[in-house]
Structure 1
Amino acid sequence: MAASEVCGELNSAFCVLPSTSPRLGLLKLVSSTRTLASALLTRLATTRTPPLRSLSTAAKLPQHTTTTAAASHRLATTAAHLRSFATTASAAMPPVPKPEQRYDLVVVGGGSGAMGMSRRAASYGINVCVIEEDGRLGGTCVNVGCVPKKLMRHAADQAEALRSRDAYVRRLNGIYDRNLEKDKVTYISGHAQLTGPKSVRVTLRNEDGSFNTQSPVEITTDRIVIATGGRPVIPSDKDIPGASLGIDSDGFFALREQPKLVAVVGAGYIAVEFAGVFNTLGSETGLLIRHDTFLRPFDSVIAETLQGGPLTIHTDNGEPFEVDCLLWAIGRRPNTDNLGLDAAGIET
C-alpha cells in the first residue's frame, strides 16, 4: 500500500512507516481530515554511522569520527573563536578621552598586578593612570592564560565525562544503597505485587537481571506506600503504524552516535528540553506539536522566547523532512502494571 493511502486512512496524529532505503529516514507531515498532522517516518539503516557536527561550524567530520577526535575538533573550533574575539583596542574597550598631562601615579601594564595597584592607589585619592598597549585589560591570565585555558579544559572534561557517564550513575546507585543500609532500611531487589491490604509478594531479581519466578517471597506489613514513579509513553504500532521505530526519553541515553537530523514529538517541557539538548550538540532539530504553541501550561513569554530561537518548529504545513532519529515525548504513564492494586482494594 502506498504511504499516501495509509496516511489517508489514519485518524491518529502521526503515521510512521518503515523504509527499504538504506539512507536517511523520511518524516513527512501530511494533512488529515480529523487531526492536525500525520507523519511518515522511514528509519536509517543500522549500519550507517551519522556524522558528528560541531555546533560552531558547518564543516562535517569524517564518517567514523571517534568521540575524542570530535572533542578535539570542537576544541580547535573554540580556539578559533577565541582568537577572533576582541583582538584590538577598539573591539575590547570603548574610546577613552584624551589623557591629562600629569598624574600622581602612572602604572604601565594592564594585568592583575596593575589592576590591584592602580585601584588601591586611587582609593587613597590620588590621580592614577594605567597604560596598556594590548588594548585588553586583565593581562595574560584573563586573555590568553588561566581563564581561556580553563574554559578549554572544561570542554575536554565534558567529552571525558560523557564516556564515564554510566560509571557515574552506578556510583550514585551505590550511594543510595549505602544510605539505606546506614539508616537500617532493608533493600530488596525485585518486583512487588500486592496480595492484600497488608501483604506483598516479591519476585526476587537475580544478579543477571532476570527474575526468579519459582521462589517468590511473601511479606506482611501494617501499611503499604505506592511510589513506583512513571515511564514515557510511546504510541502503539496499532494506533500509529511504525511508531516503535522511534525512541522515548529513556532511549535517548542509549544512543551511541549523534544523529544529524532529529524530530522530537511533543509540546511539554520534556520535549523542549531534549530538543534543546540535541540542538546544542549540533543536531538539526525539529519540534512537532499538535497545537499552536508549546509549553502551554507555562508563562506565554517562555514560549514566545523559545520560538525566536534556532529550533525549527513544525506544525500542520505538510512539508516533508528527513530525520535520523524520532523521539517521542508525549507524556508519561504510572508504573502500576501488575502491582495487584485490585487485591488491596485500590481503584485506578
Structure 2
Amino acid sequence: MSEGRAPLPPRPQRGRGAVSNREGRFARQRHEPLDSDWSDPAGEVPESSPRTTVAEDRSRRVITYNRSPDIGFDRSLNPYRGCEHGCIYCYARPSHSYLDLSPGLDFETRLFQKPDAPEQLARELRAEGYRPAPIALGVNTDAWQPVEKRLRLTRRILEVLLAFRHPVRVISKSVLIERDLDLLAALAEQGLVTADVSVTTLDDELNRRLEPRAAGGRRRLAMIRRLAAAGVPTSVLMAPVIPALNDHEIECVLEAGAEAGAAAASYVILRLPHEVAPLFEEWLETHYPQRAAHVLSLVSQLHGGRTYRAEFGSRMRGSGELATLIAQRFNVARRRHGLAESLPQPRCDAFQPPPAAGDQLGLF
C-alpha cells in the first residue's frame, strides 16, 4: 500500500442499498478501494457510481423446484437475477457469487433477464407428466422490479399462466404490479391466484435506507387495497422483522394492512446467510452506528448465538425467548384485526393447456 493512502470506509450511494461491492465467497481475488486525491471527502456519489445494466440469462429451465418443509410452495419462477430495489437484507444476494459477481452493489446494478422465460414456461407446462401446483412468482427477486416496466417479462408470464389456467402465488413490494391488475383479476375470477405484499416499515426514512428503490410502506398499503378490490386474495407480509429497527411496528403494520383489505398476515425474521451478514453489518455501521451493536446482539439471540442458522423450522422464525415474544405479539395483533395465518391455496383442478400452434384439432 502506498504511503499516505488508506482503505476507503464503506459509504452510502444515493439510490443503492449496499455500501460496498465486497467480493463473493468464491472470488479468487480481493480488491480494496484506497483513499486518494480524487476521492470525494463528503461521501457524495462519484460520477463513476455504478449504473444498472441488464444482460441475458439463458437458463434451460425456468421452473425451480424445492423440498423445503418450511415454505408453502414446491416450485417458483424468477424472471430476473439480481434486484434493483436494493434491499440490504435480501437473502438472494449470495446467488450473485455463483456468477463471479459481488452480492453487494453488483447484485443491485448488474441484473440478468430471461428473455424467453414465457416460452420456456409454456413448454414446461406442456411436458408429459407435469402435475400443476401453485408457482411462486418473484420469491427470490421481485418480478415487478423497475426493469420490468420496460421488459414486460412478468406480464407475459402471467398471460401464459392465465392461458393454461395454472395456479400462481405472487410476492412483491412493487407498485408496478398494479399495471397487471387486469390479468390478476382474471386469474382471481377462477381462483387461480393469491398475492403477498411485503410491508417492511411505515417509516419513510427507514424505508429509504433499507429498501432504497422500493415503494414506501403507505404506498404498498394502497397496493393491497387495489388488489383486494380487484378480487385478489391478499396477505400483508412483514419481512423481515428486524429487532430494534422495525419490530416496534408489528402492531401498526398489521392494523394498517387489515384496514387496506388484507385477509391474512405473516412475517419472517431477518435472515443473514453468507455474504448478507457482512453487508448488513456495514449498512448498520453506516446508517445506524449507535444502534448497530444492539441490533446485531438481538439478531444473534434469535439464531442461537450465531449471526444466522439455516435449519428448517427456525430459519424463518428464529428461536429463543425473543423469537417467542415476537411470535406472541404478531399473533395477538393478527387475531385482533381478524387476519388469517395464511391465504387458501389457489385451485389446481382448472389446469388445462391450450392448443399449441400446429396441434391437430379433434373431429369430435
Q: Specify the TM-score bucket, using the shorter chain as the normaliser.
A: under 0.3
Which structure has the higher relative contact order (CA within 8 Å, separation 6+)? 1
TM-score by length of 1: 0.26
